[in-house]
Chain A
Amino acid sequence: ELKVEQNPLFLSMQEGKNYTIYCNYSTTSDRLYWYRQDPGKSLESLFVLLSNGAVKQEGRLMASLDTKARLSTLHITAAVHDLSATYFCAVERTGNQFYFGTGTSLTVIP
């Protein structure tokens, strides 16, 4: 069974600080996705990482993928309050089966 684990589960950080969320998965996969979910809302796609070494950046968020280590990171630079949300990574297996990580609840404090 594919397991996808994120850490930390909860993250409280001050505005302006940097931090990294980690996503580990248990079996081989070349496709990894990051999503954001605001409270009471649906999921919004942030990044699609399709190969080893892939790096994507959008604003204050940067995601990377190391398929050999089965690890993806989501780095937050100079956090702002608007980034407060829950972040999920998801791994795709064959047959369009997506497995979501445990989620990281991020709170940015002024």
Chain B
Amino acid sequence: DTEVTQTPKHLVMGMTNKKSLKCEQHMGHRAMYWYKQKAKKPPELMFVYSYEKLSINESVPSRFSPECPNSSLLNLHLHALQPEDSALYLCASSLVGNEQFFGPGTRLTVL
């Protein structure tokens, strides 16, 4: 299996909702990432897990909460989001120190 999967593909949520984005890979990669990408902008790194250790991007608001249940799974829990959080959320994985493989993304709309 040489792909990164993400669910759901599309998500519409209100500002009071709680939802989760899911990411899975079975390539044996020990680094997994969450990115946020706004239209016509580069991806912005949000969180990195390396050997299940979290590196936090300090500019990420606490309404985003990552979780890495095991080396193959990565979740992003969303709570009390704002309309400006609407974006494409990309998950990626890699061998440590190697190229990243990206999932198809979740397109999130916050109403």
A interface residues with partner B (beta carbon < 8 Å): 31, 33, 35, 41-45, 48, 88, 90, 92, 95-103, 105
Contacts and interface: CB of A to CB of B under 8 A. Distances in A.
Interface of B: 31, 33, 40-45, 48, 50, 55, 90, 92, 94, 96-105
B97 A92 contact: yes
Interface residues of A, dominant DSSP: strand
A68 B85 CA distance: 38
Given A92-B97, A97-B48, A42 B41 contact: no
Contacts of A95: 48, 50, 55
Given A95-B48, A96-B48, A101-B42, A42 B103 contact: yes
B55 A97 contact: yes
B41 A33 contact: no
15 contacts: A31-B97, A35-B102, A42-B90, A42-B102, A42-B105, A43-B92, A45-B99, A48-B98, A88-B42, A88-B43, A95-B55, A96-B48, A97-B55, A102-B42, A103-B42
Given A31-B97, A33-B99, A43-B90, A98 B104 contact: no
A98 B100 contact: yes
A19 to B, nearest CB: 20
A44 B40 CA distance: 16
B45 to A, nearest CB: 6
A98 B33 CA distance: 10
B101 A45 contact: yes
A96 B43 contact: no
Query: Which residue, of A31, A33, A98, A102, has the highest number of chain B Cβ atoms within 10 A?
Result: A98
Nearest to B101: A45
Nearest to A95: B55
